[in-house]
Structures are given as C-alpha cells and as structure tokens.
Amino acid sequence: MTISVTPRIKLAVKSEGREATTVRVGDFLVGGDRIAVIAGPCSVESREQMMEAAHAVKAAGATMLRGGAFKPRTLPYSFQGLGEEGLRILAEAREETGLPVVTEAMAPGEVGVVEEYADVLQIGARNMQNYPLLKRVGRAGKPILLKRGMGSTIEELLGAAEYVLHGGNPDVILCERGIRTFQKITRFTLDITAVPLLKEVSHLPVVVDPSHGTGHRELVAPMARAAVAAGADGLLIEVHPNPDEAKSDGAQSLRPEGFSSLMRELGPVARAVDRSL
C-alpha cells in the first residue's frame, strides 16, 4: 500500500472485516448507495426563515436539514445564533418536513441540550481539536458530523474521529469543508483530494461542504458535482430563502431555485459513479 496513516490510529481506519461503515440517520444510511444531501441555512434566524428553508429543501429532494442554533462566529459582534430557541424551531421544522436535523454543538456543556433536539450533532471546523468536546460527543447517543479543521491534516481529522470512536460512539461522518491556503479569492480551498484519500484509508462515510469550502454561491454547484464524482457519500449545502438578508454566510448560500437545479444536476453525476440521489 502506498497510502497509509500512522498505525496509532486504530478505529478510524479500515481493517479486515471493516471496509465501509454506514451511519444510520432515521431510515437513511449515510455511506450507502444514496448520496446524502444535508441542506438548509447557515443559521436558524427565525421560525419563518427556517420553515421556508425547510420546505424548499425538502421539495427539492434534500435528505436532511441543517441550521445552526449555536454559532461559532469570528467576532463577538456578529449574530451568535438563537440557542435553544433555534433548536426548538429546528425540531418543529423536522415535524413539518420529516427531515432529520443536523446542528452544531460548540461546547461540552451544550451537547446535552443539542442531543435532545437534533438527529446528528455537528462538530465545527474550529472545534475539531477541542478534545473535551470530542470526548463528550463520544458518549452521545447520536451520530456525529465531524468537520475537518481549516488548518488540519487528514491524519489530524482521523485522530479527532478516533476520539469519538474511542469514547464509544461508532457513528461518525467525516466532512471536508476546505482548508486555508494562500488563495484569497475563495474563502477556503476545498480539498477534493481528501475524498478519495479518506475513502482509501478510512471506513467512515465522507461528506463535502462546498458552501464553506468556496464561500461563493457561484462555485457551490460545480464543486458539489466534483465531490460526488470523486466519491463523496454526501454533501452539506447552505440554502437560504433570501441570502441577501441572511445573518450569516449569505454570499455562499444558494437560493431555493439554485438548490433545486443543483439537485437535478447531481442525479446523472451520481449515476455515473454507481450511486443514486
């Protein structure tokens, strides 16, 4: 084998009899034949905004709903999220659409309440090496969507996954969301190589986030198609009913029409790599 990671990583890597793991979310198997599409706004801003987004992504064929209630923002002056009120709105959106909900927990003390409402707990890029948080979600009863840190290597991502698996939670989905490079026009550089690389060394499902990975709405669909072509098990896409008014990440958020067209374009790409939408 020419590609390998440190043998100290035991649980996040492939082994005999453990070639591919699927993670069950409701009746959907992430890592199975169908491509998981997790869509919704960056932040839960209001009941109206979230319901409109939820119905739009459901109608276009999304498999899960996203929306941040606890938001990791670069500045303390920016919108910090609605907190538990946001979680209640997400739960209501799940009731109305039947879509499982993915949302972030930023601190060990937040995990309990997020677990009460969410179907999948997201660990954000800025927290990929927050070891107390990783240990806490290792004891959670819900699947974890683990985002790669913007300055983290593939081995470090697998090391973070190892914490969750070692803690006793077998349900980890890895997420490539772009890394920092010298390139300044895009928000990050989406590392598509991470997809076949992770699929080669790890048994865990891999999803790609072209929204944070590019920072520009125009670049989201082409990179989403590239991710599926490269073998991703799923996508995380920011969709906002009115991106110009978004409280966070408007520039990278697709409008509902853009998301519907993307869903139509993804079908043939998925079929070309023996997957379905």
Binding site for ligand PEP (CB under 6 A): 42, 68, 72, 124-126, 147, 177, 212
Shortest Å distance, C-beta 274 to ligand PEP? 28
Instruction: Report the residue from 62, 249, 262, 270 that binds Mn ion according to the rule CB under 5 A.
Output: 249
Closest contact distance (angstroms) between CB of 138 and ligand PEP is 19
Determine the residue with CB nearest Mn ion: 42
Question: Residue 209 interacts with Mn ion (CB under 5 A)?
Answer: no
Whole-angstrom distance, CA of residue 107 vs CA of residue 90: 19
Which of ligand PEP, Mn ion, none is residue 125 near (CB under 5 to 8 Å by kind)? ligand PEP
Between strands 28-30 and 23-25, the pairing is: antiparallel
What distance in Å separates the CA atoms of residue 201 and residue 123, rounded to the nearest whole number?
21
Interface map 32-61 toward Mn ion (x if CB under 5 A): ----------x-------------------
Q: Which residue is nearest to ligand PEP (CB)?
A: 124
- Phi/psi at 141 (5° precision): -95, 15
Chain-centroid distance, C-alpha 221: 16
Six token digits for residue 30: 């992430």
What's the sign of the alpha-carbon dihedral 116, 246, 97, 217? negative
Query: In angstroms, what is the minimal distance from the CB of 14 to ligand PEP?
Result: 25
Residue type, 57: V
C-beta of 152 vs 252, nearer to Mn ion: 252
Find the helix or strand (DSSP H, E) in which 83 lies.
none
